[in-house]
Structure 1
């Protein structure tokens, strides 16, 4: 050891260089990690979810598909137009009885034609199909709107849950610091002969328990971030830090709006209810589509073309096509259904059954929506009371802890009794943080179940 000390004393520059070599990479790495750290606010999370949520993208794709179906129904009123061009070459032999000779001949032919057909009347089937597809397109748009609302609410709920997990980390850190401070006091008391070794060991055990609580809170926070990014439809980047909004400020604004006074009869705002009503109208139009099979259909067609044959001795290629062989024909076709093996009748009855099912689905949806709104109102009122009770609990638990710590220092309280009071204070801290976030989410849930997200988005701006 003496040789080692003389070695370091005789090389001060070398020691400084070694220290610099170890410290510099650590500092440089810390600087890089600080630069790579990402932050995420609740407004950014909402924007990302609106762009990249997988379920929402699929819903928007359905809207695009419905738009194409509606456009196709509009274009079914247009006439179709087709053109054809065919050519052939024939090799055959001909016999001349006058000369009693057989000769080979080659014939080249070309046919060109254009045809068009337009539906004049098909029992109003095309008109009903157009109305049906337009209604279904609008219904899909409303369903996508409700899907967007659901994604936004899920994002907000999970974001606030992750913020709550982050708040629990702060509570656990504060508890760990208080336990460490208490250990220092107990060790000082033991040195003075006022505390036993058992108190010191028990306090160290409580510190280990507090460290476990901190690790669990940190794990829950990281798990919450993973669940949040799953909703966002994005792979979570490393070192992402959730920026906590001012929950107290949000609660002040929310409670000032008094959402508990909103009536539950607001189903007309729900996009999913509106979508179901449009689907019922579309199902009724499908009945008319199927009834069109009872009616006759009328169509108009026109055809035109020309041909060329090389063996034709009258005129060349252009004369035959343009002057000698052109033709045009036009006609009206009427088709009257007489017996279709009851296909039309069965189709109409099946469509009417679908209308009945849609009506039942609407009733089930409206009942469910009314229940959700009433339950959200009840949950919010309960959350208000729970928050007030948790606030009082935290206040009294904090005062009890301060008194108990004073009594323990003067020896009028045992360690076990002090530990029980501290545990109650920790529980009260958890409960108060939980009730704050719960009240915020329950208040927003009222607007969500009513189908009105504007108050929520305005609150979070």
Structure 2
């Protein structure tokens, strides 16, 4: 009776093997955090470090455009400086020059200049094309990150499905072990069959353990691609949509129009042509405009010395005036001797000196401003213009060749990816047929072993054939998704 109960339980387990595998491949929210593919892609767009570095290039490109636009605006410079001079005379050819009073001085100036040329206009257009090419580079980086995340997601999902398969096969080998022991107890089996079943069950336990570890490793790698820390207990959603039906002609047309790498090269080709025009503009004249104004202020550190010098100057003037007018008086000529007597250094003059020194450093005296314009036409510079033009033309031709080469590669990649997708879809149908055949063979082997028609070796062989067929079917299913991801990567944009 025990033998028949175990046999029936083993047959029921094997008969529902495929259904158990299919159910195990769909994670439940109760098992842990479920990370869907759209959620993974959204997180990667926000957190992937490589993509973030690519987006930083947008700031550099914008700065280059602003600098190119600034070539049509004047350069404005201002300066403010101060100095100190010791109150000691300098001597030139034996003559003392300069004040003996310590002096502070401040100078301020402002100037503006503007250079206009045809080359600046072409440079601006070239930089603008480079900015657009940078945007295409960012789109290409997004496509690359998206492809990496999808491939890693599929790898982790396939490892998860394989782990579920190994867990289910572990249940099968355990049932086979129990059946072998039951056959030994009723006398229809041998100890060797039991030992072989124990070996098969032990090997399956190792395979199941390694498969679960592989799932965790691939999940860690997935979170690395996303750019966020690993979340333990994560389960993946295996309900991926089927690839849409698209024709090769529509894919090639889409790739030629929307592939970001190809668009970036086209824009850089346009930038290279603008560089040729910029190099040729060296033969044309350029206009330069300049304007400037400056001012200064100063003060002496010893105000009392200035007052003493002013007093001495007034006293000297008074003495000179008196001597001159006394001579006129002796000659009985009209004179202003009385006015000379009235010359004196007044407190108001002293206060004026002090007030004038107190205005430093804000009382500036403006110097004459200047405005100039010049038109220059280069005639000969040692063939450097010709060299620059030739270099620019070579770069332009190289850019054209690069664009054509990438266009050919995109066409080949899209075509190959489409063929791979069709082949992968056909392989799924063939692998499903192989699984059905292997499942039938396993069921027959189980029944034959139950009645003693075959040995445990034949049963283990049949189970191994079914395991390989089911593993190949899982691989074929995810090969379809990988082929479709490769097709999206070749086209350069999502197709669903």
> Structure 1 length normalisation: TM-score?
0.81
2:446 counterpart of 1:450 = no
Superposition map of 1:140-159 within 5 A? 140-159=134-153
Q: Give the alignment partner of residue 347 of structure 1, picking from 388, 394, 399.
A: 388
Match for residue 199 of structure 2? 205
2:45 counterpart of 1:56 = no
Superposition map of 1:361-380 within 5 A? 361-380=402-421
Question: Contact 1:93 / 1:105 at 8 angstroms: preserved in 2?
Answer: no
Query: Matches of 1:171 and 1:303 in 2, distance apart?
Result: 83
Match for residue 109 of structure 2? 113
Question: Contact 1:42 / 1:245 at 8 angstroms: preserved in 2?
Answer: no
Match for residue 263 of structure 2? 274
Residue 425 of structure 1: CA displacement?
Answer: 0.5
Give the direction of change, closer, same or farther, for the CA distance of 1:216–1:114 in structure 2 (3 Å limit).
Answer: same
> What is the CA deviation profile of residues 293-320 of structure 1, one whole-angstrom value per residue up to 9, with x for unaligned ones?
223321111112333466999996889x
Give the direction of change, closer, same or farther, for the CA distance of 1:289–1:388 in structure 2 (3 Å limit).
Answer: same
Match for residue 133 of structure 2? 139
Query: Matches of 1:200 and 1:393 in 2, distance apart?
Result: 29
> What is the CA deviation profile of residues 307-344 of structure 1, one whole-angstrom value per residue up to 9, with x for unaligned ones?
3466999996889x989754121111233323323222
Question: Contact 1:86 / 1:111 at 8 angstroms: preserved in 2?
Answer: yes
SS of equivalent residue, structure 2 residue 100? strand
Rg bigger for which structure?
2
Query: Matches of 1:329 and 1:371 in 2, distance apart?
Result: 65
Query: Matches of 1:141 and 1:227 in 2, distance apart?
Result: 28
SS of equivalent residue, structure 2 residue 252? coil
Count of paired positions: 409
Name stretches of at least 5 consecutive residues in structure 1 with no aligned partner: 1-33, 457-461
Q: Give the alignment partner of residue 252 of structure 2, picking from 264, 269, 272.
A: 264
Match for residue 424 of structure 2? 383
Match for residue 243 of structure 1? 236
Superposition map of 1:32-431 within 5 A? 38-90=33-85, 91-93=87-89, 104-106=100-102, 108-119=104-115, 121-122=116-117, 124-237=118-231, 239-247=232-240, 250-251=241-242, 254-255=243-244, 257-258=245-246, 262-266=250-254, 267-308=256-297, 325-431=366-472
Residue 76 of structure 1: CA displacement?
Answer: 1.8
> What is the CA deviation profile of residues 104-151 of structure 1, one whole-angstrom value per residue up to 9, with x for unaligned ones?
3455544332211112x32x1111111111110110101111110111
Out of 82-91 and 56-65, give the one that drifted further: 82-91
Out of 228-237 and 190-199, give the one that drifted further: 228-237
> What is the CA deviation profile of residues 368-419 of structure 1, one whole-angstrom value per residue up to 9, with x for unaligned ones?
1111101111101101110000010111111111111111111222222222
Residue 259 of structure 1: CA displacement?
Answer: 5.8
Residue 210 of structure 1: CA displacement?
Answer: 0.8
